[in-house]
Amino acid sequence: MYWKKRFGQHFLIDESIVMEILKFANLSENETVVEIGPGNGILTSKLADIAKRVIAIEIDKRLFRFLKERLSSYNNISIINGDALYYTYGEIPERFKVVSNLPYNIATPMIIKLIEQRERIIDMIFMFQREVADRIVAKPGTKDYGALSITVQYRADAYKLLNVSRGSFKPVPKVDSSVIRITPRKDPLIEVIDEELFFSIIKAAFSHRRKTIRNNFKTMNLSDEFLEKIFNETGIKPSRRGETLSMLEFADISNTITNLKERSINHSDR
């Protein structure tokens, strides 16, 4: 089997890991499953043995042709030659699960893309580099906690299921991997008045991890006087760093900014 470095291809060769992934996916014979980057098809065929329908999206044209031939005996597999980041998941008529050994180079943007499609998705089982997995499931106060942690956990439950050694792949990657479950929420974890502002605050807070939130929030063109009002109303110390704040505290800051601006507008109208 050949591979292309630019596609971040590392093919899973350990059958025992495949069986673990299938167990976590908990598929039924009536379900549709999407696989992104099927690679050598080691997982694809096993998914098709259980699920009603498998949609496998492969960007590499040579791999696409290889998979078409290898999996030609399956009538419930649709192999699509395309970029999963631009695939229109809304065109899948039924709700579906995603089970995938994600290519390393698209792991983060792919997660964000699928989170945006959360109403269509029942559950997601992913394997990708352990560093990304650790960031997704990280809690406040840890070195891995950051914007990605909050972005995912705001809209989904995320749990690490299994660590996988680099020896389970060919070619052998330079990093180990992890299997995680991401289950979309019907409603966000917390109440936020303005989601765009909420995520802008998070982005600013982690823009320079060594700086305090007071200094990072200045990039949002907020005056010192306005910042003082925010910290006084929320009770959050301006000397803290972004990684120490919980999602609820970020929401408190965001909602406070919205309320302060609304009060200012109402006051000026009098």
- Please give the pLDDT value at position 256: 97
Statement: residue 77 has pLDDT above 60? yes
Domains of the chain: 5-184 (3.40.50.150), 195-268 (1.10.8.100)
Statement: residue 173 has pLDDT above 90? no
Give the pair of three-digit tokens for residue 229. Answer: 């009002």
Give the pair of three-digit tokens for residue 239. Answer: 């000397």
What confidence category does residue 266 fall into, taking pLDDT thresholds of 50, 70 and 90?
low
Give CA–CA dist 192/13, Å, rounded: 44
- Please give the pLDDT value at position 268: 56
- Mean pLDDT, the chain, whole residue set: 91
What confidence category does residue 102 fall into, taking pLDDT thresholds of 50, 70 and 90?
confident
Range scoring the smallest mean pLDDT among 80-84, 111-115, 164-168:
164-168
Name the 3-class secondary structure at 231: helix
Give CA–CA dist 142/138, Å, rounded: 7
Give the pair of three-digit tokens for residue 117. Answer: 């499609």
Cβ atoms of 179 and 162 within 8 Å: the answer is yes
Give CA–CA dist 111/128, Å, rounded: 11
Cβ atoms of 11 and 39 within 8 Å: the answer is yes
The 10s digit of each residue's pLDDT in 184-193 is 998 999 999 9
Cβ contacts of 135 within 8 Å, gap of 6 or more = 144, 145, 146, 148, 149
What confidence category does residue 40 fall into, taking pLDDT thresholds of 50, 70 and 90?
confident
CA distances for 100 relative to 36, 123, 180, 257, angstroms:
5, 12, 10, 40
Give the pair of three-digit tokens for residue 56. Answer: 């496998």
- Give 129 or 236, the one with higher predicted confidence: 236
Statement: residue 246 has pLDDT above 90? yes
Statement: residue 69 has pLDDT above 50? yes
Residue located via tokens 């919980």: 246
Give CA–CA dist 99/50, Å, rounded: 13
- Please give the pLDDT value at position 238: 95
Question: Measuring CA to CA, which residue among 183, 16, 34, 168 is closest to residue 99?
Answer: 34
- Please give the pLDDT value at position 5: 46
- Please give the pLDDT value at position 198: 97
Question: Measuring CA to CA, which residue among 28, 21, 75, 33 is closest to residue 57?
Answer: 33
pTM, two decimals, is: 0.89
Cβ contacts of 66 within 8 Å, gap of 6 or more = 1, 40, 41
Q: Output phi, psi for 128, to 5 deg.
A: -155, -175
The 10s digit of each residue's pLDDT in 224-244 is 999 999 999 999 999 999 999
Cβ contacts of 212 within 8 Å, gap of 6 or more = 238, 239, 240, 241
Statement: residue 98 has pLDDT above 70? yes
- Please give the pLDDT value at position 7: 45
Give the pair of three-digit tokens for residue 103. Answer: 């290519």
Give CA–CA dist 157/184, Å, rounded: 6
- Give 1 or 253, the one with higher predicted confidence: 253
Give CA–CA dist 178/207, Å, rounded: 26
- Please give the pLDDT value at position 9: 57
- Please give the pLDDT value at position 105: 80
CA distances for 61 relative to 48, 55, 144, 211, 261, angstroms:
21, 16, 36, 46, 53
Question: Measuring CA to CA, which residue among 216, 81, 49 is closest to residue 147?
Answer: 216
